[in-house]
Structures are given as C-alpha cells and as structure tokens.
Homo-oligomer: A and B are copies of this chain.
C-alpha cells in the first residue's frame, strides 16, 4: 500500500497477493472521515476497501478501483523499507519485510514456476519421487564442509550434501527416480554463487549412460526455461530481464570435452593446465563463448567425486559433465555416470581414505545386481538466478543462509 494525493483526489496502490490495483478516492464523493483516513494511510498498512471497479487503459492491471469504503486493519507506521535506496545488508536484515517488494514477489513467483516445472517434468516422465534423508552417517561430497549434529547414542549425524547415494539404491527398485530437497555446505565462501543451504533436484536413472544423462539435462533445462517464458512473462518483465538469451535455450546444447575445454581456455588466454579443475572464472570465460548452456564432460578423475565412473577409453578421466549457464552464470548442473564396478569403487573409497564402514550399503548396490546408471544435480537458486537475471543467488531464495547470515 502506497499513497499519493492532491487536494481533491487521492490514489493508493493496493496489493492482495494476486496482483496490484490502483484505488482512487474523490473527496467530493465520500464521507469526510473516509477521506481523512485515506489520506493518512501509510505504506504497508493493511486495509479492507469497498468500491467499484472500472476498466482503465492506463493502468497496468487494466482496471482502477473507485473506493467508497475503507477499514484500516493494521497500521504500517514507520515501515522500515521505503521506496528510496537501501544497502544490501539492511535489506537482508529486513528480508521478512523486503519480500513484499514487487521485485522480490516476482522472483518468488519465478522460483515457484521453476520448482513446479521440475516436478511436473519428472512426473510426466514417470519418475518416482524418493525423498532422501538430510541426517546421514555417510558423506556425499567432501568431508571438510559438513554441518554436524549430535544424534542420540549414535554419535554424529551430518547434514546431507546430496541425496544421490540413496537415490542409486532407489533407482535399483524403481528405475527412474528423483529427490528434491535442501542440501548443505558449511563452506566459508562469500561468492555470489554460494549459499550454505540451497535446494537441489537430483534425478537418477537406471540404464542411462553419460550420453543419455546429458540429453535428460538439456531436455529438463529447456523445459523449465520455456515454461517460465510462457507463464511468467509478467514477472520477467517486472525484473527487466532481457529474454533474448533465454529464448535460444533448446536442445542440443554444445558439448566440449574437458581436454578440448583446456585447449580452448588456452586460446582464450587463461592460464590453466590439464588436470586442474575449472574455477568460476574459467567457467565464465568458456560459457561466454556460447549463446546457450554448455556441457563440459569427462573431467580428470582426480578433481571429481569418488562415485563417478572411470572412463574406459581414458582412465585418467571419468564419465561426468557439468552444465554451464550462459551470460556469466556458470555451473548449474553437475552429473555423471556412476561407477557400477564393485572393486573399482572400493579401491577408490580406500584411495581417498573415506570411512569404508559407512559405505557398506552403497557398495552392496554393486554386489547385488549392479547396473549402468547416471544422474545429476541441478541447483535451484543458480537456475532461478540465471532465469531472473539477478546477480547473486541469495535473492533467489526467500530466507538465504550464508556464513554471515542466519537471521531472519
């Protein structure tokens, strides 16, 4: 609710959660107490109004409301966020109120569409949702960045960094499965791409190899982007998102092997050697050379997780891929074919000094009816950030968690 008025006529922008409409009061046509109450309304006061709706071409909503009755339900006096500029720290400290701004409402609606779109995509393709545990004894990615909690008499539990290992068990039962929940990284990272708590969707498919896996990824991303362009055009407009880049997102995405990527990065002037992982800067440099998302595949084994399948054609590498979003957004997906050979997997677990006993159940999957399978993880906030064209992932989630923020 925001107001402005002249001596005889007053305007107020009303918001009800479905949209915005301008209300107008004419001094001549209402009782003096309504005129006075209306003129005294302040930003974010909650009200009940009565009146008549009429078409108005000048209005973005297509209508205007001539207000004849007004009940003030809750005052908005001294609402901390005014239309003037505020610093980022101030806004995040008041995130619970900042969410009411048009821009934040638009981002939340795009996020909703992305999430519902992802679920519909998998539901329509006969995937079964399998919610994987957050409290785990096993470690998915890297031990250095785990949140831990005391777990009754069982010692420590860790907050899951991925549901993948559990999903592999479910894929043996149900074929095509996915999980979709919050994941956690206790990383002391302050980049614009990192949160300590973020949502990730992870499909896992029996009998898919790394190539099938990339095809599923490009289908999913293309579906999500097309759906947002179709159903959230108004929100993207509110966000002043130039949609030209998004309109180009369609399969097939360009594919570049890691080895070719290193060569290409050399040509582009980057100082990187075969064997090193790509950092954010290298990803941006590469992704900017393409006008749609890019797959980089078959990374060196040494810089990727223990569960990825060794490449039979080049054992220095694994059958994996990252997907890099264009326009400087970088990695939004990491995926791989999984090591389905029991002995190779056990060797790798030992080589990395991982706690073997907590992976007993995971090794069982290779012992009893092992099978080719692949999957990936898509980060929701990075995807929403890219689609919305916002610079930092922390605006892509309602209550972001970073190493310096746990409130509100």
Chain A residues in contact with chain B, CB under 8 A?
1, 16-18, 44-46, 73-80, 94-97, 99-100, 104-105, 108-109, 111-112, 115-116, 119, 123, 126, 128-138, 147-154, 157, 159, 166, 169-176, 181-182, 184, 186, 188, 196-197, 199, 206, 340, 358, 360-362, 364-366, 368-372, 397-399, 401, 403-404, 406-408
Contact = CB atoms under 8 A, between A and B. Distances in A.
Nearest to A154: B406
Contact of A136 (B148, B340, B406): B406
A134 B132 contact: no
B407 A173 contact: no
A174 B406 contact: no
A116 B129 CA distance: 8
A8 B46 CA distance: 81
A329 to B, nearest CB: 20
B149 A340 contact: no
Work out how many copies of this chain go into the complex: 2
A44 to B, nearest CB: 4
Contact of A134 (B75, B182, B398): B182
Contacts of A104: 173
Closest 7 A-B residue pairs measured CB to CB? Answer: A17-B175, A74-B370, A361-B408, A96-B169, A46-B369, A99-B173, A100-B173
A44 B151 CA distance: 34
Given A136-B406, A169-B408, 17 more contacts: A17-B175, A18-B126, A46-B369, A74-B366, A76-B368, A79-B368, A79-B369, A96-B361, A99-B170, A108-B173, A131-B182, A132-B398, A147-B157, A152-B404, A157-B406, A170-B398, A361-B408
A152 B186 CA distance: 8
Given A74-B340, A135-B401, A369-B76, A169 B109 contact: no
A340 to B, nearest CB: 7
